Structure 1
Amino acid sequence: MNKMPGRIKRNTYQQTFQITSTLAVIITLLFISVSASGCNHNVLTPPPASSIAEVPIEVDPLELYNEYVADPNGTMEKYRGKKLFFPYVEVHKMSFLGEPPDTDKFVQMGNVKFRVKYHSQLNNIREGEGYVVEATGTLSGMQWTYLIIEDCWLRVIYPPGGATDLPPEY
């Protein structure tokens, strides 16, 4: 009989410890959730959204070429200093990446050349394989028989993602 009360005390201590530790965890979690829930009055609100730059003007490349041929001065005045967006540019021709003296990095649709700053923008594009890109750039003017769009940013829209293999020039 003496062993029975000792066993009961030991179980009671274990139960008390479990209850105490469970309560401590619950209280700690409640404290953390209340303090992190935004009950404090120092709420920051973001500033209103604003556009960093003007939205580019959407233009068809061949229509721009015809407009420029008809009235060069008027077209230059109309688009001077503005970004132009060309949503559908078929790649009829492009510069070759493997030619070291080639400083003219471009894709071409008809008589409109879209010049890029970096060769890397041309890595996923191939000539004569039905590639279509979106282009954003500024009107530079006419050079020989080509209308030049400078500082272009290109994005391949067909085929999706562009080519993943190295260009044949490498």
Structure 2
Amino acid sequence: MQQIVPMTVEGDRRLREELLQLKSEARPSVIAAIAEAREHGDLKENAEYHAAREQQGFIEGRIADIEGKLADGRVIDVTQIANTGKVIFGTTVTMINCDTDEELVYTIVGEDEADVKDGKISVTSPIARALVGKEEGDAAMVTTPAGIVEYEVEKVEHI
């Protein structure tokens, strides 16, 4: 059974740009490198040839991966969803750690878009699962390796 993968408009755009770059630039470049390496003769001991073939395998694998994600993906534009004030996929949440008063801001995105350093967490992450459905002022209990951490939802934005 095919699993639908949620992604933001931005995530869809980035995947399509990467796919275009791989097909229009990287693939032709590695094909040319393989052809050039073949001209050098004996392929058994031709390191350039083997490196180019390895690179080609990586590129073709990534193209197939992206095409699969785009085929299974469902783009969710949070700006087209009525703002209920609740945390949902695509919203940006400002929350406060109740123990440390540390403020954290995360946008809930698809698995492939997640980048904690950039403030983007996967919808399947423990924090996102604890936050989904919450409203401003609600508490969210997140199970971490160090124990349960309580966060208060300070702000929910549909950006």
Larger radius of gyration: 1
Please report the TM-score for the alignment, with normalisation by the length of structure 1: 0.23
Higher relative contact order (CA 8 A, sep 6+): 2
Please report the TM-score for the alignment, with normalisation by the length of structure 2: 0.25
Give the structure with the higher percent helix.
2
